[in-house]
Structure 1
């Protein structure tokens, strides 16, 4: 991360990119010039407040406003006007019918509650009425595992934001999901290893396309990994939205990620092997900074352990969310946040930046895409992959 931040800062200084590009270029976010805004005519406060009142309260307020204007401004000097004003105020101050809204019917209250928690309601129904019966009658675990994952994630997203920084939804949902899989497997006398194998047996969409007549059934992990590939493609939407900024900063994105790709492939395996890590796991460390959808094929090209790269890759993303921005603040890095975090923490930190800084998220998504694509490309060349294997 320090290397990526310093290289990005140096390239920005060399290429004279000093001023920050506007954060957005969407037409709907451009403020309307002052000279073309309609001028609001002056109205008394009591007239302006009428637009903020419910319709049931508007009639007595209008009477009070009209009486105060006509009686107080036009006939203030005559005794008849004073008597009329007192009479009018007395009439207005008389008790009015209650304008409190009627309570909603119970059916409408239930409808509002279900609409607000529609996803939770649907997946709870799948878990209770489909997943559990299918699991205990047929032994097929995909419906109960999939609904369990979604329900746990929805619950983890309800953690207050001030605690979510430490109790990240990925950590919370992963921990509770593994415990749930363990409990379900133990209820049938199976081990945790058996339950995890049933969770992801490897029958994803690529396997089904390659084996159209197979009788193997996918697990919940296979469905989620298939959705992961689609979500990576969906990151092209913010990239297209900020395409002008991406073209302008293309060299700033390309050069650091190309250097990091080459450095990771040759440095991580040799260092990990030197400190006693097994060869397969050492090779997996070469793809630790890449998004999981691209890290898996890169690790397979090198002959590394895909389980290790999955664990280390997710861990790198979580550490980037928890510590990345603080580390950049400590390093006094004011520019290149998206490039630095995207090349080290991939899709998890990109999802965070989509909520805080969409422009940085676009730079982060392109940065992690270039890093992953370059790594997969280099590991697909047999002479290069063979040299990397010789290091361990």
Structure 2
């Protein structure tokens, strides 16, 4: 048995398997993404997800085994959410100047995103749990999961919807901006931050620092506003 096979056997039986698998695939996906000049269809998160699913299916490894290691990355979602306070503080002067349009954009964006997802799922015959799990899909994962879990949704299902929303937002953002002929990076940043949370913000920083800053600001505000608005809206639905 080769050294590579020895390492594979060891990792497959270790809680570190999920962690190593996630990090390796994300690094590979990042390399591919950079090699093809950040092509939207080669989003590293999407490639990582597909690669991990392929390995789990190929070797018949269940999700619980994978998550024993992946939970260490999952744990970091909490500190990452707290860190959303940083862009709010750094751009507090901008927020003072533009607080009303940014808050209105975030509020209406969250409500419309949640309602449209709910009604589309309803028209397709989805269960009430699925519909409610879709409502917070545009909010950063830890906040969205907490909202869903406490208001009739399924947290794990919401997490999947959040990732899908972020990936699609990051992939389609530049095309939508061109279609709508948007030129102001501040407007673009707020739009992608409200609709595609962290994955969209990462894409925004690739396009320009100003767009990324406003996207991070909008994402942080959206998380705060969502915690206030969405539970009430989900209760009404």
Q: TM-score, normalised by structure 2?
A: 0.84
Does the 8 Å contact 1:291/1:368 carry over to 2?
yes
Look up the match of 2:214: 363
Distance 1:164 1:241 in 2: 30
In the alignment, which of 43, 47, 64 is matched to residue 197 of structure 1?
Answer: 64
Q: CA RMSD in A?
A: 2.6
Question: Using a 3 Å threshold, how does the CA distance of structure 1 residues 379 and 229 change in structure 2: closer, same or farther?
Answer: same
Instruction: Indicate the SS of the match to 1:251.
Output: helix
Distance 1:238 1:379 in 2: 23
Does the 8 Å contact 1:149/1:173 carry over to 2?
yes
Question: Using a 3 Å threshold, how does the CA distance of structure 1 residues 239 and 378 change in structure 2: closer, same or farther?
Answer: closer
Distance 2:216 2:116 in 1: 24
Look up the match of 1:323: 172
Stretches of structure 2 lacking an aligned partner (at least 5 in a row): none
Distance 1:240 1:130 in 2: 45
Using the TM superposition, give the Cα deviation of residue 292 of structure 1 relative to its aligned residue in structure 2, in angstroms: 1.0
Using the TM superposition, give the Cα deviation of residue 178 of structure 1 relative to its aligned residue in structure 2, in angstroms: 1.7
Look up the match of 1:31: none
Using the TM superposition, give the Cα deviation of residue 366 of structure 1 relative to its aligned residue in structure 2, in angstroms: 2.1
Distance 1:359 1:238 in 2: 12
Question: Using a 3 Å threshold, how does the CA distance of structure 1 residues 253 and 173 change in structure 2: closer, same or farther?
Answer: same
Using the TM superposition, give the Cα deviation of residue 238 of structure 1 relative to its aligned residue in structure 2, in angstroms: 4.2
User: 338-347 vs 353-362, which deviates more?
Assistant: 353-362
Question: Using a 3 Å threshold, how does the CA distance of structure 1 residues 330 and 267 change in structure 2: closer, same or farther?
Answer: closer
In the alignment, which of 91, 113, 117 is matched to residue 268 of structure 1?
Answer: 117
Residues 313-352 of structure 1 aligned to structure 2 (within 5 Å): 313-335=162-184, 336-352=187-203
1:232 correspondence with 2:81: yes
Stretches of structure 1 lacking an aligned partner (at least 5 in a row): 1-124, 187-191, 201-218
Using the TM superposition, give the Cα deviation of residue 286 of structure 1 relative to its aligned residue in structure 2, in angstroms: 0.6
Instruction: Indicate the SS of the match to 2:41.
Output: coil
Look up the match of 1:180: 55
Look up the match of 2:129: 280
Instruction: Indicate the SS of the match to 1:220.
Output: helix
In terms of fraction of residues, the more helix-rich structure is 2
Larger Rg: 1
Distance 1:379 1:300 in 2: 12
Using the TM superposition, give the Cα deviation of residue 134 of structure 1 relative to its aligned residue in structure 2, in angstroms: 5.7
Distance 2:77 2:84 in 1: 11
Distance 1:243 1:129 in 2: 53
Q: TM-score, normalised by structure 1?
A: 0.53
Using the TM superposition, give the Cα deviation of residue 367 of structure 1 relative to its aligned residue in structure 2, in angstroms: 1.3
Question: Using a 3 Å threshold, how does the CA distance of structure 1 residues 264 and 168 change in structure 2: closer, same or farther?
Answer: closer
Using the TM superposition, give the Cα deviation of residue 357 of structure 1 relative to its aligned residue in structure 2, in angstroms: 1.8
Instruction: Indicate the SS of the match to 1:158.
Output: helix
Distance 1:254 1:346 in 2: 15
Look up the match of 1:375: 226
Look up the match of 1:170: 45
Question: Using a 3 Å threshold, how does the CA distance of structure 1 residues 271 and 155 change in structure 2: closer, same or farther?
Answer: closer
